[in-house]
Structure 1
Amino acid sequence: MGLHEECGVFGIYDPAGGCAQTTYYGLYALQHRGQEACGIATINDREQSFYKDVGLVSEVFDKQTLQRLNGTMAVGHVRYATTGARERENAQPLTIKYVKGTLAVVHNGNLVGVDQLRQKFEYQGAIFHTTSDSELIAYAIAQARLRCASVEEAVCQAASKLRGAFSLLVMSPQKLIACRDPWGFRPLCMGRKGQAILFASESCAIEAVGGRVERELEPGEVVVVQDGRVQSIRDNCRGKSHMCIFEYIYFARPDSIIAGQSVHQARVNAGRLLARQNPVPADVVVGVPDSGLDAARGYALESGLPNVMGFVKNRYVGRTFITPDQQSREQAVRIKLSALRSEVEGKRVVMVDDSIVRGTTCSQIIALLREAGATEVHMRVSAPPFISPCYFGTDIPDKDRLIACHHSIDEIRDMTGADSLDFLSLDNLQKLAPNARCGFCEGCFTEHYPIPVDGSED
């Protein structure tokens, strides 16, 4: 188990059809959020079709499958599991048939108090076919629909009772519904392309399909699309959000805008803050691809040091953080990265990366620089030390596997082989995204969470 985002979601209503193909391109733009499994569900003449499997978007779908799915509405999902095993049945969309018809649900985030909630539903007669907490959301909506006059009312009712992070899309035969949890842990935005109405985890996916981003959903907001008409329901809005700060540090694509803040600029800001916080005599600055590159640029701009390409990345290897286990992650480092000797040989190097979890990966990367002739390697990290797990969709391990829970910064420096080491301070973390129109969840750095992590009322 490594540090990774759980997933990304994409949805579209388009009376012109071809929604499966548009969703395919949208998911392709969100592939960085999950590389384990993917799926698309569509509606054609009120009939639901779907296809999903383990693998990358380009591996799972072909032209014939997309043509068969077609659709005037679609929802799609890319997944990396934080809850539930790596199996095809846990891939999303989750599709259900019940007395009121059909539903397809895609979900980004993580519920808390899952065991108690699952047990409660099972005592009510529920039979679950997956180990994913997303199935709990689908069941909660379907159960509420038996009492409610509409699907959107059922989504609102279910959302008011669930605890945790859930940016989700729900598709019935006639409606496409987007919903964001009342605490706003995960991003979800809305856009348009002609008559088409689009939803996605990140703005980059809407722009990738030729759309224009209109706005982000408010925490707790439910947006309903039916026959091209858009309705907003804000019954569950609390007025305050707690966006996962790691969206800016690592998860989101640099070209995305989240809560009014450029992700790229937030990472550049982090590098500038690191340079001010603990300057060190050096010759060059290098970033660890990909999310460390922007922070390295910021460090170089602030320090006046040259920002050089210290690593060559193999673009055909997935993100090291989200390989399934420790052994494969370690093997992937050398396959994925090689140090560029001509840029670092004989140089004192400031190496900027986004985080340290266990310390094993950064140890290998530092070793690559030394093998390429770097005389000194000073590591700077654009996030504070992890001291606690995440319960809201980032698979940060428990304390036993977090190096910062057992070792001081000096000890971590020695264990990783760096000449010096510094993390972004908590004070500077607050300055990371100055333009963001939201609050933040920083629980993995502080142990202070916006809501109780046992699923109880906050």
Structure 2
Amino acid sequence: MSTLDHAIAAPVIHREHHRDADDDRPRLECGVVGVWGAEADEASAIVALGLHALQHRGQEACGIASVHETRFHTERHMGHVGEAFGGSDLPTRMPGTAAVGHTRYSTAGGSFLRNIQPMFADLDTGGIAIGHNGNLTNFLFLRNQLVGEGSIFQSTSDSEVILHLIARSRKAKVVDRFIDALARIEGGYALVAQTRSKMIGARDPLGIRPLVLGRIGDAWVLASETCALDTIGATFERDVEHGEVVVIDRHGLQSIKPFPARAARPCLFEYVYFSRPDSVVNGRSVYGVRKRMGQGLAREFPIEADVIVPVPDSGVPAALGYAQESGIPYEMGIIRSHYLGRTFIQPSQATRQKGVRMKHSPNRAVLEGKRVVLIDDSIVRGTTSVKLVRAVRAAGATEIHLRSASPPILWPDFYGIDMPERDQLIAANKTLEEMREFLEVDSLGFLSVDGLYQAMGETGRDEKTPQFTDHYFTGDYPTRLVDREIEAGGRDPVARQLSLLVSA
């Protein structure tokens, strides 16, 4: 039986996401932090602070692995970083001058303790802990292949595949094994690995997922976003380049570029939604980009209105930009509660339907008798949007004009964003007028793809060599979708269409 035949025949692990039926936000991916060379066994405490700054990237679970005199200490917990690692005894529990941490929302595998990262394994070269932000598009193919060759998996996470590939490499040195594993994986990833003597960071060949390098005193730091560096008092050194592997040990930092050079295509959704506004991603201020998105939206879809209202919190910078460009006053017409936990119990369908008002409450003093322009960062299925619109209208708004600061989302993602399948994406299944009617608004407008590129500082999208990963808007997937291509050989018409798009 060929390798591909085996992958198709082997049992398939479905990517399960425990998304609330009424949850209409694209779920965040994960965040990673690594520290090497911290003083006085403080590495785990520094990592915990960094993870706290990245809590917006994953609120399901978190973990830290520290190394002290070649011995690893690992803890993995469900819940928020502060609950798990907020105690002053953390350096005692997890001593060491080096540590790696991860905060998680599951994009592959389910919500189980065994899937929490960093994942740790004892190899013949010693222990290794690895944290992964992103998604492998050939995860199922590789996993099924490894299982067929005798590997035993303890989780359903695609990150464990990387550990198995490292373990099975025939290279002598751990760094060479790590690179050997990278050569076999596809997709978007930012990786931080900790061995007993080194910290290794890597970014996928297209730079889809972000990773930055910083210094705090004599210690080195790797993190998903610059806001983590700011929180721990580290200085930003540079972005880890696309396709780059950095190795940090007692000799300093070594940069390795093991793969053929390719043009970078970082993910646009980092700017639209994921990254914190105070982060700088690939040299661009996230806050600045979002404001320019709003300014472009005002130019593309102007309207006579009395007040600009953001859908908090991610819609705020775009709403400020729209207000500045249009001259219409900006007001906080919707107040967001920051105290609703992810696991809030909603015992009945009746209370579930009131959930949107628990998270977002209309401010009647601002809305009553007003023509309102409602600014959101994106519209996915529309289920949350229509509830917000009804709440704003119930608060007395006479007109509601909904504006999305990103283009229509037409295709699902496979690089670390938990986004609904195509048949659940409102823009993929309705015309603009049908969407307007469904959302119950007086007018509706989406920022154009070129408008988004202009907010990024480009003149527009280069159709031949796109500057960013933007498949959710264009269908232009930047890598092969191996797992979906395998499914396309069967009964999945969406997967078959994706396969055709990727191969075109």
Match of 1:47 in 2: 71
Deviation at 1:65, TM superposition (A): 4.1
Identity %: 43
What's the CA shift for 1:332? Answer: 3.6
Partner of 2:117: 92
Instruction: Name the amino acid aligned to 2:290.
Output: R
Is the 2:141–2:482 Cα contact (8 Å) retained in structure 1? no
Other-structure match for 2:471: 443
- Are 1:153 and 2:176 an aligned pair? yes
Cα distance, 1:423–1:319 mapped onto 2, change above 3 Å: farther
C-alpha spacing 1:425/1:451, structure 2 compared with 1 (3 Å): same
**Structure 1 residue 55: deviation in Å?**
0.5
Report the counterpart of residue 32 of structure 1 in structure 2.
56
The alpha-carbon deviation at position 418 of structure 1 amounts to 1.0
CA RMSD of aligned residues (A): 2.1
Residue 202 of structure 1 pairs with residue 225 of structure 2: yes
Q: Which amino acid aligns with 1:375?
A: T
Matching of residues 240-389 of structure 1 within 5 Å = 240-317=263-340, 331-389=354-412
Alpha-carbon separation, structure 1, partners of 2:251 and 2:391: 54
Question: How far did 1:330 drift?
Answer: 5.6
Structure 1 residue 319, shift from structure 2 partner: 7.9
Equivalent residue, structure 2, for 1:400: 423
Q: CA deviation at 1:447?
A: 0.9
Q: Classify 1:259/1:237 alpha carbon distance in 2 versus 1 (closer, same or farther; 3 Å).
A: farther
Q: Does the 8 A contact of 1:390 with 1:396 survive in 2?
A: yes
Aligned to 1:18: 42
On the 8 A contact 1:183/1:220 being kept in 2, the answer is: yes
In structure 2, the CA distance between the partners of 1:178 and 1:382, relative to structure 1 (3 Å rule), is same
For the pair 1:453 / 2:481, whether they are aligned, the reply is yes
Indicate which of 141, 145, 148 corresponds to 1:120. 145
Which structure 1 residue ranges, 5 or more long, are not aligned?
Answer: none
- Measure how far apart 1:98 and its partner are: 2.3
CA distance in 1, matches of 2:117, 2:198: 18
2:73 paired with 1:59: no
Residues 4/214 of structure 1: CA separation in 2 closer, same or farther (3 Å cut):
same
Query: Quick one: distance in 2 between partners of 1:329 and 1:198?
Result: 42
Moved over 6 A (4+): 326-329
Q: Residue 9 of structure 1 aligns with which residue?
A: 32
User: CA–CA distance in 1 between the matches of 2:402 and 2:244?
Assistant: 41
For residues 189-237 of structure 1, what are the alpha-carbon distances to aligned partners after superposition, in whole Å with 9 as ceiling and x for unaligned? Answer: 0000111100100000011100001000111100011026111101225
Structure 2 counterpart of 1:111: 136
Measure the CA separation in 2 of the matches of 1:342 and 1:18. Answer: 49
Question: What is the one-letter code of the residue matched to 2:443?
Answer: S
Q: Aligned partners of 2:234, 2:115: CA distance in 1, in Å?
A: 30
The answer to whether the Cα contact below 8 Å between 1:221 and 1:237 also exists between their aligned partners in 2 is no
How has the CA–CA distance of structure 1 residues 431 and 451 changed in structure 2, closer, same or farther, with 3 Å as cutoff?
Answer: same
Change in Cα spacing, 1:102 to 1:39, as seen in structure 2 (3 Å) is same
Is contact 1:219–1:237 with CA below 8 Å preserved after alignment?
no
Where does residue 439 of structure 2 map in the other structure? 416
- Kindly state the Cα deviation for residue 252 of structure 1 after the two structures are TM-superposed: 0.2
Kept in 2: contact 1:317–1:332 (CA 8 A): no
Q: What is the CA-CA distance between 1:59 and the residue it aligns to?
A: 1.7
Deviations 1:34-69 (CA, angstroms, capped at 9, x unpaired)? 000000000001100110111011122242344310
Structure 1 pair 39–220 and aligned structure 2 pair: CA distance change class (3 A): same
* 2:451 matched residue in structure 1: 428
C-alpha spacing 1:434/1:358, structure 2 compared with 1 (3 Å): same
Amino acid at match of 1:120: Q
Q: CA deviation at 1:310?
A: 1.0
Comparing 58-67 with 22-31, which one deviates more in the overlay? 58-67
Q: How many correspondences in the alignment?
A: 451
Distance 1:47 1:327, change over 3 A: farther
CA offset digits 1:78-125 (Å, max 9, x no partner): 100110100111010001112221110000000012221111111221
Structure 1 counterpart of 2:68, one-letter code: N
SS in 2 for 1:334: helix
Gaps of 5+ in 2: 1-18, 20-24, 460-465, 486-501
Query: Residue 166 of structure 1 aligns to a residue in which SS?
Result: strand
**TM-score, structure 2 as length reference:** 0.86
Structure 2 residue identity aligned to 1:54:
M
- Identify the range of structure 1 (444-453 vs 170-179) with the bigger mean alpha-carbon deviation: 444-453
Whether the aligned pair in 1 keeps the contact of 2:287 and 2:317 (CA below 8 Å) is yes
**2:106 and 2:38 mapped to 1: Cα distance?**
33
Q: How many Å separate the matches in 2 of 1:327 and 1:22?
A: 43
Distance in 2, Cα, partners of 1:388 & 1:160:
27
The answer (yes or no) to whether the contact 1:141–1:154 under 8 Å persists in 2 is yes
- The answer to whether the aligner puts 1:390 opposite 2:410 as a matched pair is no
Partner of 2:492: none
- In the aligned structure 1, how far is the partner of 2:125 from the partner of 2:28? 33
Any idea what SS the aligned residue of 1:440 has? coil
Equivalent residue, structure 1, for 2:242: 219
**Residue 295 of structure 1: CA displacement?**
0.2
Change (3 A) 1:45 1:331: farther
